[in-house]
Amino acid sequence: MFADLHLHTHFSDGTFSPEEVAERAREVGLSALALTDHDTVDGCQRMEAACVQKGIEFIPGCEFTVEQGGHELHLLGYCFNLEDAELQATLLKYQEVRRNRVHEMVVRLNGQGIPLKVERVLELADCEAPGRPHVGRALVEGGHCYNLDEAFRRYLKKGRPAWTPKAKMSAVEAIELIHGAGGIAVMAHPGITRMNEVIPDLVTVGLDGLECFYTRHSTAMTEHYLMCAERHGLLVTGGSDCHGDNKGEPLIGGVKLPYEFVEKLKSAASVMV
């Protein structure tokens, strides 16, 4: 039995519906999955229903963009109460931050002579948590870029003309928010973030786990983070970070987390309630 605990849908910056994700999970033989859309849990109800239909175990989740020591990190929250009032209020706040960021990116693109309209970007996004991929899709649709990769390379990556920083909560705030909703806080893709030095500090403030198995982690990285998790007494998670067709071939099934780690995650979450 295997799981994928890092997946996105069109409720944030993915292209698949929850139903499509569940169907693809069934096709690649997954027994459990988690939805971890950015700054929203809006897709969780549909994903749970789709998973029930396919005989797949569902774990609610969310991906938070946070700051630690002046650097950006991503934290994954799992197994929390979706109806928690503080969680819902905070997500609404950061969804507004996302819309404001999209508006600023469009203003910067307009300054480059590109007649993009923020209304069209939000139309294409059709969700409460819009982001750079939606701006990229609008650039492609308008004939300003050939594909999403070009849009990011020319305009949207850090250091490019339309790059706009996103307001972020601190890692401590995010961990407290996740714990307050009865959930488990996990550092996403540490091998990509390349900030190993912050892990002990995060452990001190309540970090529960590390995403050791990840699409872009080499075997050596995975082994390193498995040892790191053992050393700090952290849970182990893993996932593909599938965004649908946004990044070429869909990644779901590329990372298969052994189910024993899901059992440990659920056991730890049961203590948080």
**pLDDT tens digits, 198-231:** 999 999 999 999 999 999 999 999 999 999 999 9
pLDDT value at position 195? 85
pLDDT value at position 246? 64
pLDDT value at position 39? 96
What gap in Å lies between CA 108 and CA 54, rounded to an integer? 44
pLDDT value at position 248? 64
What is the value of pTM for the model shown?
0.94
Side chain identity at residue 68, one-letter code: Q
pLDDT value at position 273? 62
For the chain, the straight-line distance linking the first and the last C-alpha, in angstroms and rounded, comes to 26
What is the Cα 192 distance to its own chain's centre? 13
What gap in Å lies between CA 18 and CA 9, rounded to an integer? 6
Q: Is the pLDDT of residue 182 over 80?
A: yes
Residue with tokens 């440990």: 264
